[in-house]
Chain A
Amino acid sequence: MSFKDTRRTLLKGAGAGIATLALGTYGRAALAADKDTVTIAWPSDVPSWDPQQRLVPDAQSIYKAVFDQPLEQNAGMALTPHVAKKWNLSADGKTLELEFRDDVLWHDGSKFTAADFRFGWFERIQRKDAIDLGRVWNEVTDIQVASPTRAVVTMSQAKPTALQWLAFMGNFVVPRDYMEKVGLDGFRAKPIGSGPYRLAEYQLNSRIVLERNDQYWGPKPKVRRVIIEIVKDPSARVAAIQSGKADLALNLPVREVDRLSKTAGLSGEFNPIPRLILMHARNDMGFADENVRLAAHHAIDKQALSKAFYNGKAVPLSMVSTPGTPAFDPGFKFSYDPKLAQSLLAKAGFGPSKPLKIKLATTNGNFPGDFDIARAIAAMWKKVGIDAEVDVIEYAKYFELNRGRKLPEATIYSWDNATGDPEIFTGYLLNPKKPFTPWRGEEEGKRVLALESVVDYKKRVEGYRDFEKYAVEHGATIPLLQSVQTLVRKRDLQYQKYRSGIVYLQSLAWK
């Protein structure tokens, strides 16, 4: 055997050896499906490991696994005790008393106290930490720590939704002593919470590994380890669940969920969630006339939109709230009636032979089907005499355009509200003081601002319910659909479904 032959053989052998080692390693990994572990293909990363920093709906499920909140919501979206076991909001909505559990431990073994609550909801805001929580609680004037388990929050103005917010985005308890010791950057790099899972590993934009917290004060999760693969591309998420690399995948294209549902061992779900798809309207320019706005609304076949883009799973809406939420009235319907649309447009002097020309803005890819819905609506409007030019905008540009009054007559928008509270639906979406709506109608503005200070829950919900109907009947807003969460999981993986749409990782379990 010559030297060349020996070298060639050696190289081939080495190559084969490395390949065998590598594939063997990978093969072992693939085969060893651990029933103590769940792998999830998740669509987005957390913006930061400071849970009070950003109000981001997509991160809530992950934050809720690692951090606790003062209050929680049950599967039906009703508020329940959590770290706070008792509470009382005063009749004027300016004072909130909270009594906390005394068995809550941080992941480093130290105890949660009311001082931690004061730190998160007052001290951090006062010293101007860059946290979105500060904007939610900017009316807090002080938090008295009456005892290690009791805090009294005093506010400069009524906050009727104080309790709802305590179970909502950004409202997570953080450890004061640990955060002060390691600093904010240190905390973000190595966060600790008090939740049912602790953060074991984090790779930016790639992977989050959670390990069960066996010292958790509440029910222990059944799954010891949750691996969250951050798979931003929807096709890759489909591939992950289809290949078995993931046990559960979220936010998949609707058609893929249908297809995967027929795959042995997989179960596809369409879960209606409190997320609205609506059309914001202006009360000037081409939409100045109420008849035009109502015509635009009557001309939209919402059932057809749901069928075309959500396989019929998205629920058509007539109100700016979703079924099952307190202000929703299932008896209130706004009809699809193209003939009525045409007659209303005729009153305004428009029709198919003399169409009204307007613009319809939409994002493209901000939420599933946004651009397609806009194009479909433009086509529906064309039939009745509204000629809409579809204009694509970036979500980041929406607020700037709105502040500069540069949004067009109509804009497709999406809104999440896991609390279901009507203030966080209509109270935000139609509030002229907030950056979301281009609507500047005086009557609507007066009504929504008045509702902000109604503390009595029943009166407040009734008030919002009536206001929503009024707003829709006068074309101040055009609700379209209730969105659905798409989810595919392995059939033997169970989890508790929550109407809020939040996937509670601590509820995962293998059959």
Chain B
Amino acid sequence: MLLAVSVLLFVVLRLIPVDPLALSVSPNATVEEIEKIRHEMGFDRPIVAQYWLWLKGALRFDFGRSIYHRESVASLIARTLPASIELAALAILVATVLGLAGGLTLFHVRGTRKEPVLDVASIAILSLPEFLWGLFFILLFGVHWALLPFTGRLSPEYSMPAARTGFLLLDTLLAGRPDMFADAMLHMILPALALGVGFSPAIMRVLRSSLQDVYAEDYIRQARLRGIGEVQILLRHAAKNAILPALTLMGVQFGFLFGGTLLIELIYSYPGMGNMMVEAVRNADLPVIQAVGLVYCIAVLSINGLVDAAYSMLNPKLRPR
């Protein structure tokens, strides 16, 4: 799967009509000089030869050098990937909590006057793209109420701790700095919320629909007859079964969520891989685009894998005998 994605990415990037050297050479480079650089970088070779060279390097985690930064792509990714993983993880948590809580609430208020209001609200939230949420939260929480920071990862008075793991939240704890940890968490709230909130309505609606199906089952009626309260029935009996379709949806959505980090990181000046990818696209920095695209693919596959594992845990029918 990864090989197929890498081939697809490689071919597409080489076929789009953009000269990767256009922004990497100085303004007064002559045509001859540009062709010389093209030859040195291998861009004049057949695509298959270029891909083979790239693949050999990629298997050694050598993705070449960034045309724009002239730095190793692998080192650029190593510096930025942990930040994106932390953000995506928090956003997934936000989306999950909001989605599940919202779904349970939507189901709980079914048949009441609140239902259509919350229904419309969930559709409205779903229809706004995450970057608009990003800008809205900056205006509300960053400017109007001035409650939360909206640029970077730490407040200016803090220096980045020693990168023991590369994950800032872990590194602050390992450095024995709970104040820095709290500050880093504060900086992540708005971008994580912007990313997560857009994905939660779909989870809410699927969970609500799934609960409606589950509530038609006999065991729910029997639970009521046994005198179990509605809240207990909802949380301890129905939710466990109803969550499975929502979990499937989450697996698909969270793959997209990782891709959503691009614009959110840009808006929040968050030093993750998404921010770097946007810059790479602007500069036609093909080696970076290629490698980051592959990393995103791995991320999506990993998230799907984790969701499949969670699904197996929750659904006894899928557990190995």
Contacts and interface: CB of A to CB of B under 8 A. Distances in A.
Contact of A239 (B71, B76, B150): B150
A435 B271 contact: no
A243 B146 contact: yes
Given A23-B147, A206-B152, A396 B22 contact: yes
B279 interface: yes
Interface residues of A, number: 62
Contacts of A236: 135, 138, 150-151, 267-269
A394 interface: yes
Choose among B20, B152, B283 the residue with the greatest number of A CB atoms under 10 Å from its CB.
B152
Contact of B267 (A29, A54, A235, A400): A235
Given A209-B156, A227-B156, A18 B182 contact: yes
A207 interface: yes
A235 B183 CA distance: 23
A100 B195 CA distance: 54
Interface residues of B, number: 61
A23 B186 contact: yes
Nearest to B272: A205
A142 B181 CA distance: 54
A232 B29 CA distance: 28
B94 interface: no
Interface in A144-188: 170, 185, 188
A395 B76 CA distance: 24
A400 B147 CA distance: 48
Contact of A397 (B22, B33, B76, B179): B22
A204 B76 contact: yes
B182 A25 contact: yes
Given A26-B183, A243-B143, A395-B23, A231 B28 contact: no
A232 B17 contact: no
* Pairs A-B, 3 closest by C-beta atoms: A400-B19, A206-B271, A132-B26
Interface of B: 17-20, 22-23, 25-31, 33-34, 68-72, 75-76, 79-80, 135, 138-139, 142-143, 146-153, 155-157, 159-160, 178-179, 182-183, 185-186, 266-271, 275-276, 278-279, 282-284
21 contacts: A21-B178, A21-B179, A29-B155, A48-B69, A48-B70, A54-B26, A55-B26, A170-B26, A203-B152, A205-B275, A206-B271, A207-B156, A207-B269, A233-B266, A236-B267, A236-B269, A239-B142, A400-B18, A400-B22, A428-B28, A435-B34
Given A47-B69, A204-B76, A204-B79, 11 more contacts: A26-B148, A32-B157, A203-B271, A205-B276, A206-B271, A207-B269, A236-B268, A245-B151, A395-B22, A396-B283, A428-B28
